[in-house]
Amino acid sequence: MHAAERERLIVEAMRPNGFVSYRDLEGMLDASPATIRRDLSRLEETGQIVRVHGGAKLPEGEGARPGPLQLAGTPFDQAITQNLAAKLTIGRTAAALVQPGEGVMIDGGTTTLQMCPHLEGLDCQVLTNSLHIVTALLPQAGTRILVPSGTVFREQNIILAAAGEESMPRFHAPKLFMGAAAIGPQGVMQADVVLVAAERRLIDRAEEVILLVDSTKFRTQSGTIVCGLDEVDTVITDALPPQMEEVLLAAGVRVMIAS
Supply the pLDDT for residue 171: 77
AA identity, residue 233: D
Task: Identify whether residues 92 and 51 lie together within a single domain.
Answer: no
What CATH number has the domain bearing residue 184? 3.40.50.1360
Distance from CA of residue 77 to its chain's centroid? 18
Residues 170 and 234 in one domain: yes
Measured from the Cβ of residue 187, the count of other Cβ atoms closer than 10 Å reads 21
The number of folded domains in the chain is: 2
pLDDT of amino acid 1: 63
For residues 189 and 160, which has the higher predicted lDDT (pLDDT)? Answer: 189
d(CA 133, CA 122) in angstroms, rounded, equals: 16
Q: CATH number, domain at 28?
A: 1.10.10
Q: Are 194 and 135 in a shared domain?
A: yes
Nearest to 194 by CA among 35, 7, 20: 20
Task: Report which of residues 208 and 34 the model is more confident about.
Answer: 208
Give the residue among 167, 156, 223, 150 at the shortest CA–CA distance from 192.
Answer: 223
Is residue 190 in a domain?
yes
Coil/strand/helix, residue 242 = helix
- What's the confidence (pLDDT) of residue 111? 93
Burial tier of 100 (Cβ tally within 10 Å: 0-12, 13-18, 19+): exposed
Give the per-residue pLDDT at 222.
62
Q: Are residues 174 and 226 in the same domain?
A: yes
Asked whether 130 and 112 are in contact (CB, 8 A), the reply is: yes
**How far is the CA of 86 from the CAs of 112, 120, 179, 212, 238, in angstroms?**
12, 21, 13, 11, 6
Q: For 35-90, what is each residue's pLDDT tens digit? A: 988 889 888 887 888 888 778 888 865 544 444 445 555 555 556 567 789 999 99
Do residues 154 and 207 both lie within one domain?
yes
Report the pLDDT value the prediction gives residue 164, as an integer from 0 to 100. Answer: 47
Do residue 80 and residue 38 come from a single domain?
no
Q: Would you state the pLDDT for residue 79? A: 61
Whole domain around residue 9: which residue ranges? 3-57
**124: pLDDT confidence band, cut at 50, 70 and 90?**
very high
Query: pLDDT tens digit string along 149-180?
Result: 777 876 667 887 654 455 666 777 889 999 99
pLDDT at 166: 59
